[in-house]
Amino acid sequence: MSAIEQTEAARPRGTRLPRRARRNQLLGAAQEVFVAQGYHAAAMDDIAERAGVSKPVLYQHFPGKLDLYLALLDQHCEALLQAVRAALASTTDNKQRVRATMDAYFGYVEDDGGAFRLVFESDLTNEPAVRERVDRVTAQCAEAICDVIAEDTGLSRDESMLLASGLGGLAQVVARSWLHSDRSVPRDTAVQLLASLAWRGIAGFPLYGSEQAQGD
């Protein structure tokens, strides 16, 4: 169950919830408000009202708006990282692995809650704590891709990381562009087009210990 679904399930005012359930409810409400209004326009009053709680209850869990935003950011950065890692681990066929990784980014930006906006389109990127988290998850996703590239190609860590950063950046930017174009191309088609582009590039590097390229 997503944070927003938990919010909908737990919204009736006056209901006493266990601390973890209440925290999840507040995070779900905060996500709705932050995605709709942006950080600067959002107010703790709005979030408390959306969650159906008093403002003191909200402050019991989160001392301030930034604390709440960072808790959400941590949650959704971790979700992206786990999606990328799962995609990479889903197959040993590198061509399919590239496709699965591209699809992980598309799935992340397509999520109905719009959480990707907190990570990739935040209006708070000048805040050091926010910038650090976004940079960290971008690097962690690239490192996960890099591990596979380095193992399979025998390229140096630095070379592999450069390629991995390119693949991750490509997936993220194109997935967001696709979403903002109102998904004019069906998702499966868009993923396949991007995966074909990425594969034709990365397949040019032979498997480690082999003189033959991986093909296309």
pLDDT, one tens digit per residue, over 28-68 is 999 999 999 999 999 999 999 999 999 999 999 999 999 99
- Mean pLDDT over 102-109 rounds to 98
pLDDT band at 15 (very low <50, low <70, confident <90, very high): low
pLDDT band at 25 (very low <50, low <70, confident <90, very high): very high
- Mean pLDDT over 72-96 rounds to 97
Could you give the count of Cα atoms lying within 13 Å of 169 in the half-sphere of its Cβ? 8
Q: What is the pLDDT of residue 205?
A: 87
5-19, 38-52, 127-141: which has the minimum mean pLDDT?
5-19
10-24, 31-45, 167-181: which has the minimum mean pLDDT?
10-24
- Residue 181, number of CB atoms within 10 A of its CB: 10
- Mean pLDDT over 174-184 rounds to 95
Is residue 123 within 8 Å of 40, Cβ to Cβ? yes
pTM as predicted = 0.86
State the Cα–Cα distance between residues 143 and 1, nearest whole angstrom.
29
Percent of the chain scoring above 70 in pLDDT: 89
Is residue 164 within 8 Å of 142, Cβ to Cβ? yes
Q: What is the pLDDT of residue 37?
A: 94
Q: What is the pLDDT of residue 101?
A: 98
